[in-house]
């Protein structure tokens, strides 16, 4: 079943931590994820396994059995999940709140990032004028 927009939200710090480990490693077993957690922060095997299985059920990770363990891979890039989450939150906001939030996201960007953003916006406007929807 395809993921819904709600499925793209990471639910809590442990899911975020597990996904961060997967993005860093590319693919990982439960033990690989646990090894990235600090000694005192290390969760039990079954806790990490449960988180990974829930992420799999929600369509955020793929898994493949290799021998006895499953190997998990992120299904989406971190940037895509972040963009979907932000879009979902902005969609529910008023036009003025949405504008202010976007300005708040853009204001701290470095000059090079702002230049990239300006180029992207110009290209997006061109594509939209040409009849295509454009955008990620």
**Where does the pLDDT of residue 5 fall: very low under 50, low under 70, confident under 90, or very high at 90 and above?**
low
**The pLDDT of residue 41:** 87
pLDDT digits 0-9 by tens, 66-76: 999 999 999 99
Contact 59, 75 (CB under 8 A): yes
Lowest mean pLDDT among 9-13, 23-27, 66-70, 132-136: 132-136
Q: Is pLDDT above 60 for 135? A: no
Q: Is pLDDT above 70 for 133? A: no
Query: Which residue from 42, 67, 65 is spatially nearest to 53, judged by alpha carbons?
Result: 65
Average pLDDT over residues 7-31: 93
Query: Which residue from 78, 86, 68, 12 is spatially nearest to 43, judged by alpha carbons?
Result: 12
Tokens (6 digits) for 74: 């992120």
pLDDT digits 0-9 by tens, 99-117: 999 999 999 999 999 999 9
Domain boundaries of the chain, sorted by first residue: 5-74
Write down the pTM of the prediction: 0.76
For all residues of the chain together, what is the average pLDDT?
Answer: 91
The fold of 5-74 is Arc Repressor Mutant, subunit A (1.10.10)
**The pLDDT of residue 38:** 82
CA pair distance 83, 89, nearest whole angstrom:
10
């Amino acid at each position: 079943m395809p993921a819904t927009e709600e499925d793209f939200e990471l639910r809590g710090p442990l899911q975020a931590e597990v996904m961060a480990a997967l993005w860093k490693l590319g693919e990982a077993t439960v033990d690989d994820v646990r090894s990235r957690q600090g000694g005192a922060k290390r969760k039990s095997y079954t806790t990490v396994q449960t988180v990974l299985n829930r992420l799999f059920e929600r369509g955020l990770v793929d898994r493949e059995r290799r021998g006895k363990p499953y190997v998990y891979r992120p299904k989406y890039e971190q940037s895509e999940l972040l963009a979907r989450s932000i879009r979902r939150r902005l969609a529910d906001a008023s036009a003025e709140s949405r504008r202010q939030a976007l300005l708040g996201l853009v204001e701290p960007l470095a000059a090079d990032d702002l230049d990239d953003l300006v180029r992207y916006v110009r290209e997006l406007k061109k594509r939209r004028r040409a009849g295509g929807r454009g955008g990620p």
